[in-house]
Structure 1
Amino acid sequence: MKGARGRGTLAQEKPPILGMIQRGGQVLIRMLVNVQQQTIEPLIQAMIRPGTQVYSDEYGIYGRLCEWGYEHRTVCHSRGEYARDEDGDGFHEVHVNTIEGFWSLLRSWLRPHRGLSQEKLPLYLGFFQFVHNARIRGKGLLQPLLSVLLA
């Protein structure tokens, strides 16, 4: 079965989640109240240094990134575009595959936790963000986790 088209909302019990990831670096994920520019602007400005190159899909919510002080390049999924080589060097630098891969990992990790409440979802997201950013798996994760919890 295919899910309903469109963006999720809190009322539909499919809350919107914003994700920002640095290629080869840290990720930040937050559950949002709504999908509006006024909601994402403070998060983006708190986490991304002005002048940074930001890649996104063509969704209109990202339309003011240049006004907010960021370099912005997009791929147009609706036209079947998923990566683009703008400088002709053979490397497709304009893409959102890094965050798309992260979403795939998050969905796979959440799938066994069927029936998650919206109230608890931010805790699950925070834990997954921590694990991803720590880049440690298995028993090695215990010490960094305890350090964060006891700090």
Structure 2
Amino acid sequence: MDHPPRKRRLKGAPGRGTLEKDKPPVLGMIQRGGQVIINMLSNVKKATIEPFIKKHVAPQSQIYTDEYNIYDDLESWGFRHKTVCHGKGEYARDDDKDGIYEVHVNTMEGFWSLLRSWLRPHRGISQEALPLYLGFFEFLHNIGRRGKSLLQPLVNLLVTQQSGIGKEP
């Protein structure tokens, strides 16, 4: 018996997230084969992302993004920038014709998929708590350990953070 394919849609209002829609925007950057950094934003504007990117990415780094126009100024901010156009069905491109499709955002898209799967059992997280969940998942990814081997790095982080409370910067 043939059944039509199930339609999978994201719940909530369509479009870009905003705090007002209770769909807070989250900016993420990942170094291929390396560390990730994610942060909940107050809005999705160039003035909001520019200082965040400049703080965490070395000047002249190659940055790959989708075609969203918020990234249009990356080159004027001092970065090299290439995009893929999902709207045209493009998900990876081999610009230098060496057989390796280096222009893509699949690394970050894969990370978002893992984050959504990890958050799903929590069945809704308040905007106030979301940065804590994001920070913990970022830590889990960057430490690269699971299970019992995660315990010591987690204790070290907690002790380091606890010893820094109340001290002047």
Using the TM superposition, give the Cα deviation of residue 38 of structure 1 relative to its aligned residue in structure 2, in angstroms: 0.4
Matched, 1:99 2:108: yes
- Which of residues 62, 72, 77 in structure 2 aligns to 1:63? 72
The residue correspondences of 1:1-150 to structure 2 (distance < 5 A) are 2-3=9-10, 4-150=13-159
* CA deviation vs aligned residue, 1:33-72 (integer Å, no higher than 9, x gap): 0000000001100000000000000001100000000000
Q: Which runs of 5+ in 2 are unaligned?
A: 1-7, 161-169
Structure 1, unmatched stretches of 5+, are: none
Aligned residue type for 1:25? G
What's the TM-score, normalizing by structure 2?
0.88
Q: Who wins on radius of gyration, i.e. which is larger?
A: 2
Deviation of 1:2 after TM superposition, in Å, equals 2.6
Question: Structure 1 stretches (4+) deviating beyond 2 angstroms?
Answer: 1-5
Question: How far is the alpha carbon of 1:115 from its aligned partner?
Answer: 2.1
Q: Give the whole-Å Cα distance in 1 for the aligned partners of 2:122 and 2:19.
A: 19
- How far, CA to CA, are the matches of 1:2 and 1:57 in structure 2? 20
Q: CA RMSD in A?
A: 0.8
Find the residue that maps to 2:63 and give its secondary structure.
strand
**How far 1:5 sits from its partner (Å)?**
2.6
Distance 1:72 1:8 in 2: 24
User: Partners in 1 of 2:83 and 2:155 — Cα distance?
Assistant: 39
Q: Report the AA paired with residue 69 of structure 2.
A: G
* Residue identity opposite 1:123 in structure 2: L
